[in-house]
């Protein structure tokens, strides 16, 4: 991305092993994330930035210290590099790893190949070479599925719980899928787009709420005996969606927030009198990858359906445009 | 409190039973809370407001529906009225009860007697008539101990954990006591007042950090291998103390915030990249009261030492002044 809104596909030298813990991955497919729209819209800076942070593909070369993956393995990696051995990683918060590095902006995986640092900690091999139709789902595990899943886990979605999901983008839809897998009793998708409502129902939503803001909160309360949802996932990152999510959570309930929220400010006293649990941030996708890969491998979940536009990498600029204009939920880029 | 800074002790009619779920309690002692300083300093409105929300004493009369307490019982109650039967109460969040009512500002327990609504849900009888020396500790359970305890529970203080407590006021000191009782391995009190440091050590602090703000955060990281504390309790409620608490919590760690925080704003993105758990608000003291009363009764904890000035109720105005000027940590008012 040369500058905000200006995406170009250009030739670059092949990446090379730099550290003995690196691996080079030849990507099988890549994609555009909702968070890529922040620099596209000028909210985050962009200056000849290497874009993309989701990836799945085949290991082409490994550094001398790499032990857990080998050349030829099909791997999925998290959008955050982690060593997976430090104290923070071992506690399940790999996105706060002492060696963390964001793939976005530096490495950039909207490319044919990528150098992945800390390969042993970051990459997870699949049980074998995947069938073609599993590729989109495996790619989704890299961020959008892992992030939606984390949102639902942070919100403590589970049996007996009513879960409300604020946001019908790809991450919100994946949070619906996760809430269903985690055994939630009732899953309320907050959405006003007919196609996304349909996809939300496919992934497990039992109710749809079209209202937003205070009206949305009132509707959630109406559906939950006046109390609010046990679990709420915030998957947008705007001021309105954040306040909607806080308001929709019952006292003592859990809010998982995964929408990147640059323009949000929260009054301390609003959080104080809400009396809720809040957990969020960049998802520790690595924690969930082995389980998510297995669920996909066993065809028990189908996160790949979240891609509703497929383009060759050369047309990446059109992919950004389609997502920016909300003509596409999520764009798959092929080679 | 006629208006900010103007505290007067005046005669009022005795309270009467209004609802059949009410009880009238004759207070044995009462006290002034750090949060009473918000209206005193004009941050919250005050207009002939009945002050006080901490109370312990003898039941003098009960309404016809009251079953759990009887006339003559010595009782301790929470600073938030709750029915203790609704779904929110049963989940342990009595300060979010469907029937919640704040004692502060309406009922007011800086008085000889008080009408306590939802007596069955709000009051907890002690095992018998307490010895005189236990009265301050039992009174502390009503808010300051219960609130510090909740802060430590929300921060998930426990075995193997390093707990940092931001704030050396009465609530902060009680959070230190709680962290110790909950089995924390290391307890860092952030304080720069020699007498309070001493009291913090008495209650179980293993380390003292005098630095504040970014320097305080750096010091906590230095003491925790660069990672930050597992558990942090915010017991002040200012912008600086809040950011200090967020910064001192390691990724994936837990922040319990119990300082009333009117003037605090939190940037969403700061919370996002902190990657921590946050829980707080008005403490559900009722959840902890039976356990706290027993610990006091068995003389295993001595929260009453937090009172460092005792005055007769008539001199309440001097008590407010002493706390406002930080000459006293917490003031006990006797009859």
Going by C-alpha positions, the residue among A31, A17, A18, A25 that lies closest to residue A315 is: A31
**Closest residue of B to A224, CA-based?**
B87
Spell out which residues of chain A touch residue B268, defining contact as CB-CB under 8 Å. Answer: 237, 242, 257, 261-266
Contact state of A87 with B237 under an 8 Å Cβ cutoff: no
Residue ranges of alpha helices (H) inside B157-284 are 170-181, 194-203, 213-223, 239-248, 268-274
Q: What is the pLDDT of residue B264?
A: 97
Q: What is the dihedral of CA B130, B132, B133, B138, to 10 degrees?
A: 50
Going by C-alpha positions, the residue among A52, A195, A19 that lies closest to residue A121 is: A19
Place of tokens 């720069």: B192
**Closest residue of B to A278, CA-based?**
B278
Question: What is the per-residue pLDDT across A11-31, written as a single tens digit (0 to 9) for each?
Answer: 999 999 999 999 999 999 999
DSSP A33-74: -GGGHHHHTTSS--SS-B-----EEEEEEE-TT--S--TT-E
Place of tokens 């915010």: B234
> With contact defined as beta carbons under 8 Å apart, do B278 and A277 qualify?
yes
Looking at A113-117, B43-47, B173-177, which range is the least confident one?
A: B43-47
Contact state of B88 with A227 under an 8 Å Cβ cutoff: yes
> With contact defined as beta carbons under 8 Å apart, do A76 and A126 qualify?
yes
Question: What is the per-residue pLDDT across B198-229, written as a single tens digit (0 to 9) for each?
Answer: 999 999 999 999 999 999 999 999 999 999 99
- pLDDT bin (cut points 50, 70, 90) of residue A51 is very high
Going through chain A in order, the beta strands assigned E by DSSP cover: 23-32, 56-62, 74-77, 80-81, 101-102, 113-116, 123-125, 162-166, 186-190, 207-209, 229-234, 249-257, 265-267, 277-280, 309-312, 331-334
Mean pLDDT along residues B164-180:
97
| Beta-bridge partners for B229 | B249
Average pLDDT in chain B: 97
For the record, the structure tokens of B227 come out as: 């990672």
Cα–Cα distance between A300 and A302 in angstroms, integer?
A: 7
Question: What is the per-residue pLDDT across A56-98, written as a single tens digit (0 to 9) for each?
Answer: 999 999 999 999 999 999 999 999 999 999 999 999 999 999 9
- Residues of chain A whose beta carbon is less than 8 angstroms from a beta carbon of chain B are 87-88, 91-93, 95-98, 225-227, 237, 242, 250-252, 257, 260-269, 271-282, 284
Question: What is the per-residue pLDDT across A203-228, written as a single tens digit (0 to 9) for each?
Answer: 999 999 999 999 999 999 999 999 99
Spell out which residues of chain B touch residue A261, defining contact as CB-CB under 8 Å. Answer: 268-269, 272
Q: Give me the percent of chain B exceeding a pLDDT of 70.
A: 100
Going by C-alpha positions, the residue among B165, B243, B258 that lies closest to residue B206 is: B165
Best B43, B90, B96, B238 residue to mutate vs chain A (most A CBs within 10 Å): B96
**Closest residue of A to B90, CA-based?**
A252
> With contact defined as beta carbons under 8 Å apart, do B177 and B204 qualify?
yes
Q: What is the pLDDT of residue A105?
A: 86
The sign of the dihedral angle between the CA atoms of A309, A315, A316, A320 is: negative
> With contact defined as beta carbons under 8 Å apart, do B265 and B288 qualify?
no
Q: Is the pLDDT of residue A286 over 90?
A: yes
Report DSSP state, residue A200.
Answer: H
How deeply is A211 buried, as exposed, middle or buried, from its count of CB atoms within 10 A (0-12, 13-18, 19+)? middle
Q: Is the pLDDT of residue B299 over 90?
A: yes
> With contact defined as beta carbons under 8 Å apart, do B206 and B161 qualify?
no
Q: What is the pLDDT of residue B303?
A: 98
Q: Is the pLDDT of residue B165 over 90?
A: yes
Cα–Cα distance between A209 and A212 in angstroms, integer?
A: 8
Contact state of B264 with A264 under an 8 Å Cβ cutoff: no
Q: What are phi and psi of B18, to 5 degrees?
A: -110, -50
Contact state of B250 with A96 under an 8 Å Cβ cutoff: yes
For the record, the structure tokens of B129 come out as: 């008539």
Q: What is the pLDDT of residue B105?
A: 87
How deeply is B64 buried, as exposed, middle or buried, from its count of CB atoms within 10 A (0-12, 13-18, 19+)? exposed
Helices and strands in chain B, H and E counts: 12, 16
Q: What is the pLDDT of residue A317?
A: 97
Residue partners of B215: CB distance under 8 A and separation at least 6 = none
Number of residues assigned to chain B: 335
Mean pLDDT along residues B169-179:
97
In this prediction the ipTM stands at: 0.95
Spell out which residues of chain B touch residue A282, defining contact as CB-CB under 8 Å. Answer: 272-273, 275
Going by C-alpha positions, the residue among B124, B125, B120, B114 that lies closest to residue B83 is: B120
**Closest residue of B to A98, CA-based?**
B227
Q: What is the pLDDT of residue A123?
A: 98
Question: What is the per-residue pLDDT across A130-146, written as a single tens digit (0 to 9) for each?
Answer: 999 999 999 999 999 99
DSSP A178-195: HHHHTT-SEEEEE---HH
Contact state of A276 with B272 under an 8 Å Cβ cutoff: no
Going by C-alpha positions, the residue among A171, A167, A170 that lies closest to residue A188 is: A167
Cα–Cα distance between B333 and B313 in angstroms, integer?
A: 5
What's the gap in Å between the CA of A293 and the closest CA on chain B? 23
| Beta-sheet pairing, A162-166 with A229-234 | parallel
SS3 state of residue B190? strand
For the record, the structure tokens of B273 come out as: 């990249």
Q: Which of B92, B272, B281 sits opposite A261 (nearest CB)?
A: B272
Going by C-alpha positions, the residue among B194, B204, B197 that lies closest to residue B163 is: B204
Mean pLDDT along residues B33-54:
94
> With contact defined as beta carbons under 8 Å apart, do A51 and A4 qualify?
no
Mean pLDDT along residues B113-141:
98
Best A243, A244, A271, A276 residue to mutate vs chain B (most B CBs within 10 Å): A271
Contact state of A269 with B279 under an 8 Å Cβ cutoff: no
Spell out which residues of chain B touch residue A272, defining contact as CB-CB under 8 Å. Answer: 257, 260-261, 280-282
Q: What are the structural domains of chain A?
A: 23-143+284-334 (3.90.180.10), 151-280 (3.40.50.720)
Cα–Cα distance between A137 and A296 in angstroms, integer?
A: 7
**Closest residue of B to A273, CA-based?**
B281
Question: What is the per-residue pLDDT across B226-251, written as a single tens digit (0 to 9) for each?
Answer: 999 999 999 999 999 999 999 999 99
Q: Which of A91, A261, A268 sits opposite B261 (nearest CB)?
A: A268
How deeply is B184 buried, as exposed, middle or buried, from its count of CB atoms within 10 A (0-12, 13-18, 19+)? buried
Spell out which residues of chain B touch residue A251, defining contact as CB-CB under 8 Å. Answer: 88, 93, 95-96, 281
> With contact defined as beta carbons under 8 Å apart, do A280 and B272 qualify?
yes
Question: What is the per-residue pLDDT across A229-274, written as a single tens digit (0 to 9) for each?
Answer: 999 999 999 999 999 999 999 999 999 999 999 999 999 999 999 9
- Residues of chain B whose beta carbon is less than 8 angstroms from a beta carbon of chain A are 87-88, 91-93, 95-96, 98, 225-227, 237, 242, 250-252, 257, 260-269, 271-282, 284
Spell out which residues of chain B touch residue A102, defining contact as CB-CB under 8 Å. Answer: none
């Amino acid at each position: 991305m040369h500058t905000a809104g200006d995406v170009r596909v250009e030739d670059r030298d092949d990446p090379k092993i730099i550290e003995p813990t690196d691996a080079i991955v030849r990507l099988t497919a890549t994609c555009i994330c909702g968070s890529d729209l922040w620099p596209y819209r000028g909210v985050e800076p962009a200056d000849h930035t290497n874009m993309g942070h989701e990836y799945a593909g085949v290991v082409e070369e490994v550094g001398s210290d790499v032990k857990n993956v080998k050349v030829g393995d099909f791997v999925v990696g998290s959008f955050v590099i982690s060593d997976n051995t430090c104290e923070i990683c071992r506690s399940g918060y790999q996105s706060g790893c002492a060696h963390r590095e964001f793939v976005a902006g530096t490495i950039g995986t909207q490319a044919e190949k990528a150098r992945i640092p800390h390969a042993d900690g970051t990459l997870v091999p699949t049980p074998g070479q995947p069938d073609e139709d599993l590729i989109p789902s495996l790619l989704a595990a890299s961020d959008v599925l892992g992030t939606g899943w984390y949102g639902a886990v942070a919100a403590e979605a589970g049996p007996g719980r009513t879960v409300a999901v604020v946001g019908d983008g790809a991450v919100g839809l994946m949070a619906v899928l996760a809430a269903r897998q985690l055994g939630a009793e009732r899953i309320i998708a907050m959405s006003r787009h007919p196609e996304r409502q349909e996809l939300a129902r496919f992934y497990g939503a039992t109710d749809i709420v079209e209202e937003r803001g205070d009206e949305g909160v009132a509707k959630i309360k109406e559906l939950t005996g006046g109390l609010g949802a046990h679990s709420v996932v915030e998957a947008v990152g705007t001021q309105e969606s954040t306040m909607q999510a806080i308001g929709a959570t019952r006292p003592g309930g859990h809010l998982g927030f995964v929408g990147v929220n640059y323009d949000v400010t929260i009054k301390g006293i609003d959080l104080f009198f809400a009396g809720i649990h809040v957990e969020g941030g960049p998802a520790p996708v690595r924690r969930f990858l082995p389980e998510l890969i297995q669920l996909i491998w066993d065809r028990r979940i189908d996160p790949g359906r979240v891609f509703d536009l497929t383009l060759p990498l050369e047309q990446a600029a059109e992919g950004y445009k389609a997502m920016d204009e909300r003509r596409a939920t999520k764009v798959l880029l092929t080679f």
